[in-house]
Chain A
């Protein structure tokens, strides 16, 4: 069963398509990384998924309920969210803020359940001691933690987090990544946006890359890296090798010194390259895969798209 689905989701402001025909399908229990540079449309997508912004086209389903036309109150009650930065009543303490949001909606049982969980979620994010301080006095990192605590308060089936590690130090980032991984392993669906590659690469089951409102790539971090694997080939006859490789589909070859660098795209594989060269009589003395970092892939996807768009 899917936790979050968008079909042809679009948002247009004037002439600009902030989100442009987005199709997403997030499975239950999946930790999905929503990656894209700032301004790619991540936050707008999240706001539409949570019913804050009305789409110009397409539809959203959250936990099986349509978000618009009928409203997704029941689904939202089972969703934990952080949208852009966390926001609180500055004159209330961290604990009183959680109490206020617990009491603001839902029925009696739901409110009691949330109130009873306050200590637990404050402990989870490491804010037990600062709980009685006014949020006014919190550092950005503490606010971020309180935002995550609020998102966890209702024991959500799906967490939608917009750049959750913003403002945290490296140790804090790691802590939050581990927490999200643990939640996902426990069956919670986690949809997390980020402009930091290392972050999603380290923890996500699947990554979608958003650029200019469109999904330009999607897959496991490993598969995405494989989108553009580079192979270093050492041969006896560079000129002939280039000639042979030019005929193989999905291959881009270039010579650098005595070495041929081959970029594999589409369905081409290193084995194909080897077989092609050998059968054409080129002796291959070494064939070394040089995996591009996901960052290279990401930048190339986003940049290519930028040139076209």
Chain B
């Protein structure tokens, strides 16, 4: 099983631990920064509301951590895991040895996607865990006020934070599928990684340009921020539903494209 091998490879690779340390460090940095210079909740208009709340409640650390990694670090991780998946093997020459083992081409593509998505899921859970741990130790965990003014118990809030992580995870699945498609086309691992990151960030930038509002709903990252709707009362599902449909569409289209492209490819690397 290629999936199992991917797992064994990831565990023996410095890269995996570097990414884990970097992403796990983000909630820690947030906690430290807020502890050292607490934002003035009454005066400041610049600080994001999440950061203002953190002083009183460690539950905001995992949530802020997720919000901070989503726009850049998450596409980067998708690029490293999915973008590099096939192109990296091609560049290293191991692709031809996997294919003559033999591993069916369709199976290789799907296993690589499954491995990349599993690593992304673990990273997101890791960020939540680091945030909960350090936020809890430094600020303590208390019931969470929602954006609508009601309050969630600590257990309910943790569940919603996991829900937010799950939504962010499903949101990045489309970018990962695009990355895998790019990966099936080229023999350059770093090239495919960078292309994936650029496509993800380009989508976020286009999403910010008002005159392009017609295409906004179709951008793979358009619905990404809708996870904040989980912290309203009652939860607003509309934005997330739209985001999930778009992600599912990108995932399906680009996985099929990757399967088709790779099944016909002459493997000369």
Contact = CB atoms under 8 A, between A and B. Distances in A.
Interface of A: 47, 50-54, 71-73, 76-77, 79, 81, 83-92, 96, 99-101, 103-106, 150
A252 B178 CA distance: 66
Interface stretch (B100-108, B127-135, B156-164): B100-108
A51 B9 contact: no
B100 A79 contact: yes
Given A87-B92, A89-B92, A106 B13 contact: no
Contacts of A150: 97
B9 A100 contact: yes
B163 to A, nearest CB: 35
Contacts of B14: 91
B97 A85 contact: no
Nearest to B268: A53
20 contacts: A47-B96, A51-B99, A51-B102, A53-B268, A54-B264, A54-B266, A72-B102, A73-B102, A76-B102, A81-B100, A83-B96, A84-B93, A87-B93, A89-B92, A91-B14, A96-B8, A100-B8, A101-B97, A103-B5, A104-B98
Interface string B63-103: 00000000000000000000000000000111011111111
B18 interface: no
B215 interface: no
A105 B264 CA distance: 20
A38 to B, nearest CB: 16
Interface in B232-269: 264, 266-268
Contact of B268 (A47, A72, A79, A90): A47
B1 interface: yes
Contacts of B100: 50-52, 76, 79, 81, 83
A101 B98 CA distance: 7
B1 A87 contact: no
Nearest to B101: A105
Contacts of B12: 91-92, 96
A105 B267 contact: no
Nearest to A85: B93
Contacts of B99: 50-52
Interface of B: 1-2, 4-5, 8-9, 12-14, 92-94, 96-104, 264, 266-268
Given A83-B96, A83-B97, 7 more contacts: A47-B267, A52-B96, A73-B102, A92-B12, A96-B8, A101-B98, A105-B103
Contacts of B97: 81, 83, 87, 101, 150
A96 B12 CA distance: 10
A83 B267 CA distance: 11
Contacts of B13: 91
A90 B13 CA distance: 10
The 7 closest A-B pairs by CB, nearest first: A87-B93, A105-B101, A76-B102, A52-B267, A105-B103, A53-B266, A100-B5
B243 to A, nearest CB: 35
B70 to A, nearest CB: 29
A104 B266 contact: no
A53 B267 CA distance: 6
B63 to A, nearest CB: 35
Contacts of B264: 54
Given A54-B266, A92-B9, A92-B12, A104 B1 contact: yes
Contact of A89 (B94, B103, B104, B267): B94
A105 B102 contact: yes
A60 to B, nearest CB: 13
Given A87-B92, A92-B9, A73 B104 contact: yes
B1 A103 contact: yes
A248 B31 CA distance: 98
Given A89-B94, A90-B92, A104 B9 contact: no
A104 B267 contact: no
Give the interface centre of A51, A86, A89 by most chain B CB atoms within 10 Å. A89
Contact of A104 (B5, B93, B268): B5
Nearest to B1: A103
A87 B102 contact: no
A54 B101 CA distance: 18
A51 B104 CA distance: 11
B92 A101 contact: no
A47 B96 CA distance: 9
B101 A106 contact: yes
Give the interface centre of B8, B14, B97 by most chain A CB atoms within 10 Å. B97
A257 to B, nearest CB: 54
A53 B102 CA distance: 14
